[in-house]
Amino acid sequence: MTQPRHHKTTAALSDGREIHFYDDEAGRRREVADTRALPPVESGSELRWDPTVEEWVVMAAHRKARPTDSAAHCPLCPSMPGAATEIPAHDYDVAVFENRYPALRSADPGAGDPGSALAVPAGGRCEVMVFGSEHDTSLARMPERRVRTVVEAWADRTQVLNALPDVEQVVCFENRGSEIGATLAHPHGQIYAYPFVPSRFERMQRAARHSRARGTGCVFCSVLENELAARHRIVERTRHWTSFVPHAARWPYEVHLYANRHVPDLTALTEEERADLAASYRSLLGRFEAVAEAPLPYMALWIQAPARGERELGHLHAQVFSDRATPLKPKRLAAGELGAGTFISEVEPERAAAALRAAGARPRTGEFAGACAS
């Protein structure tokens, strides 16, 4: 396993939640003291089973109280005298802390609906990852070494969370843009450690299992090989990573970033693969900023092998997608898509790939209206 080159500092917030600082350069030491008087975190989340589609739904009504962005107070900016935030430091590179309004949290055994066998306490964990102390920027505009620190933090948190007894799947993700419902403009993402394998990831595991049973090997490796053979949907290829618009893309702009080597998760990457990933991922996000007349809002998530069981079926890759072809033209999901689950795409993947390739040579313009929700 790759040894991190950054320095990590772990501390506790005043309500007992963990916070971790990841610095771009090793050897940095910091003192962390949260001066706030916060009450203990109470999540009250519950998992309810829908037997008609065999999947869990997370009930988390308390999240309605989470803070939103304001010009006067951003909870993710550095703490200053008289203005304490979630991050008790006057500056930082990357910070990760437990969400104060978590959808998932190690559960109270007495919680849940005592009258139903289809409701259980919601275990797991939700963490917020802040990409830097600067408020008005984006991950795509940060230096490559900062993106490398983000990659290291993702890998470290994946390893730690995978080891928790009530965690089955770790998902690192970012929602970028108030247009898609984000509530905080400070650049950051989240990490969900689910106490179950989410249904879409479970279907991916099933497809990988079927492919192996047919003797056709890894389904993800086959997809990558087919895209490389077709060539016209490739956005960018490096020694260790390939980004492409999938043959059956659902969204106006949708790119998958695959590890060229069959590897289960971020923790298994080599030093060289992590460095190459920082450059490749930064380049990909930059294309979403440059492909239209203003930066497109997007969602991004990493698909990794589950924490335990059939990990060899997983093939690490990211999915980055936008719900619009232009900043002012969102794709509205209708009943057939949301209700029946069958997408109808009105953008040719080959045209989208060509536009994203060309975007890599254009300067970035415009500003985001907001960043990902906490």
Active site residues: 188
Distances from the Cα of 197 to the Cαs of 263, 308, 351, in angstroms?
A: 19, 10, 34
Structure-token pair, residue 35:
């001066």
Whether residue 240 contacts residue 275, with contact meaning beta carbons closer than 8 Å, is answered with no
**Whole-angstrom Cα distance, residue 129 to residue 127?**
7
279 near 139, Cβ under 8 Å?
no
Q: Do the beta carbons of residue 324 and residue 331 sit within 8 Å?
A: yes
Number of residues in the chain: 374
For residues 311 and 315, what is the distance between their CA atoms, to the nearest angstrom? 9
Contact by Cβ (8 Å): 182, 373: yes
Question: How is residue 83 written in tokens?
Answer: 């203005």
Burial class (CB in 10 A: 0-12, 13-18, 19+), 77: middle
Q: Confirm if 349 and 245 have CB atoms less than 8 A apart.
A: yes
The whole-angstrom separation of Cα 374 and Cα 367 is 20
Tokens representing 93 are 């590179």
Burial class (CB in 10 A: 0-12, 13-18, 19+), 54: exposed
Sheet with 119-121: list strands edge to edge: 55-59, 46-50, 119-121
